Structure formats: C-alpha cells, structure tokens
Amino acid sequence: IRTALSRLVNDHLIVRKAGHGTIVQSRQDRRQFSLARSFTRQMAEMGLQARSVVLHSEARPVQSGDPRPLSGKISAPCLILDRLRLGNDEPIGLQRTFVVLEHCPGLERVDFSSQSLYEVLSNQYHLVITEITHTVSATTADKRQADLLRVELRAPLLVVKTAAFLENGEIIE
C-alpha cells in the first residue's frame, strides 16, 4: 500500500500532508499555459503541434524606441521577428521578438516558420537562458490582430512582455 501511495504521489494524483492525511489532487488542466517554457515545448506538452507563420523578419541595430530592457544595447545588432503562433493550426498568439545578435551571428538566416528560437539558441549557438521575466497586461484586439487571431474586433487579449537573460546576466531576447 505504501508503494502504491508513493507512486500516486509521484504521479501528482494525491497529496500526503502530515496531520491532514492523504488528499486526492485536483486534476490539472493540461492546457494550462506557462510563461516559463518555449512556445514549441509548451505546445508539445499540451499535445498540440506548434507552428509559426513568419509575418516579418528584419535585422537592424537596437534603437532607442525599442523595448526598454534593450536600452543597454543601443546600436547592437538585433533580429526583429514577428510571428503568428499556432497550436494544431489554431491561432494562439502574435509574437514580436527582438533578439540581440551579438552572441548568435547569422540567426537572421534561420527559418523560424519551422524552428524554435530557443532550441536554435541552445543547440546551434550553445546559449543558455537562465532567467525570463514577464509582465502581463490586457488590451483589446485591433483589426489586424482580430483577423490574424480569428477573434472579434475588440476581443480581450493578454499582452505578455518578456525579457530573457543568459547565464552571464546579459539580455538575449
């Protein structure tokens, strides 16, 4: 019985608390979205096929009007990548990414309609992202967003701003 209970604990099906006994764990929503993993990995964990449509890609220097976390990298080369992110061909989100190219020259030549940015950074450039910060706010869909995401005009949307940092504390994305 102890072995069986230990397995159920390891499978996150029950919780054992001293003084409270054993409690059946509420079923977690397998579609719960986490900001701590790459989009591609998250879709795979949810049993969905991740796909991206590259809407725009441009390499240029970081400018003063770019996102605030990049302010220490003015004039550094960066890749701006706009993508429609899909799970099983259903629109999940729109993503604008700024990637500092100092540690990943040639990244602008990668086809991000078929490859994960974080996997390319890890596997091809051996860069390790150790911290990701998030700011979440809300907005409503404008005409372009509504069309791309297949939602109603002014539908509520989440805006997630992230900053990803390398082992040495430098911002990468």
Dump the DSSP string for 87-122. Answer: ETTEEEEEEEEEEE-TTSTTGGGS-TTTS-HHHHHH
Question: What is the pLDDT confidence band of residue 15, given thresholds at 50, 70 and 90?
Answer: confident
pLDDT digits (tens, 9 = 90+) for 19-68: 777 777 765 544 444 444 578 778 888 888 888 999 999 999 999 999 99
Residue type, 37: R
pLDDT score at 37: 59
pTM: 0.74
Which tokens hold the place of 97? 């990414």
**In the predicted model, is pLDDT for residue 147 greater than 50?**
yes
Q: What is the pLDDT of residue 170?
A: 94
pLDDT in tens, 91-143: 999 999 999 999 999 999 999 998 989 889 999 999 988 888 888 899 999 99
Other beta carbons within 10 Å of 66: 16
Torsion angle (degrees, nearest 10) of CA 110, 115, 117, 121: -70
pLDDT of residue 26: 62
- How far from 13 is each of 6, 128, 134, CA to CA, in Å? 10, 33, 30
CB 79 within 8 A of CB 59: yes
Q: Is the pLDDT score of 71 beyond 90?
A: yes
Q: How many CA atoms lie within 13 A of 147 on its CB side?
A: 3
